Amino acid sequence: MLLDRLPNRMYPAFGLAALDRAAKERLGQDRCRTSDLKELRQYFRKHGGLRCLYCGDHKATRWDHVHPVSRGGGTVKGNLAPACARCDDSKQARTLDQWYRSKTDKRPDWRSYQRAKRIINTYRNYYGYRPRSFLASLNASQRQTYREFRRQLTTLRGFLRKKGLITDRGL
């Protein structure tokens, strides 16, 4: 039935995670431009079609960070891959290996996992992308800024926990 769901609820822990991601994206200097997406679409069309990298669905409507932003992945060529909404939502902030080993409902089966790994390796090599940790991707000044940001975020998390707005399971 249409209109049978309420809007998604926003939780404070999710807000903290969103702030952390926003800071990571801001501090990470490299970022594709909208004009780069044409090149990425052409790359994927040439190498198997513009479909979900993970399940093969032809309804790839999003760009997924293969190496998650939270783990140092950039919004750059070599790390953005087409994904369907279902796979993108299921994968969340996991690497392909973590997602495959997880207990989530919509994770790739062995065959899809192996196929995605091959495609990712070829794609990364083509663009010279090498995953690295978030802190390793920053210069000394950026690392200091991020560490101070995290201290402030931890203080805010403690305040929210003290007021009962988040639990120990929250971010």
* Tens-binned pLDDT, residue by residue, of the chain (171 aa): 578 888 878 888 889 988 998 898 888 767 888 889 999 999 999 998 899 999 999 889 999 999 998 888 889 999 999 999 999 999 999 999 999 999 988 898 999 999 999 999 999 999 999 998 889 888 999 999 999 999 999 999 999 999 998 876 644
In angstroms, how far is CA 130 from the centroid of its own chain? 15
**H, E, C per residue of 69-135:** HHHCCCECCCCEEEECHHHHHHHCCCCHHHHHHCCCCCCCCHHHHHHHHHHHHHHHHHHCCCCCCCH
**Cα–Cα distance between 63 and 35 in angstroms, integer?**
14
- Cα(15)–Cα(159) distance, rounded to whole angstroms? 14
Name the residue type at position 38.
K
For the chain, the structural domain boundaries read 9-28+138-171, 31-132
For the record, the structure tokens of 126 come out as 């083509």
Residue 101, token pair as written in the block: 């080993």
| pTM of structure | 0.79
State the architecture of 31-132 in CATH terms. Answer: Orthogonal Bundle (1.10)
Which residues lie closer than 8 Å to 113 by C-beta, 6 or more apart? 96, 100
pLDDT at 13 (0 to 100):
85
Q: Which tokens go with 115?
A: 């196929």
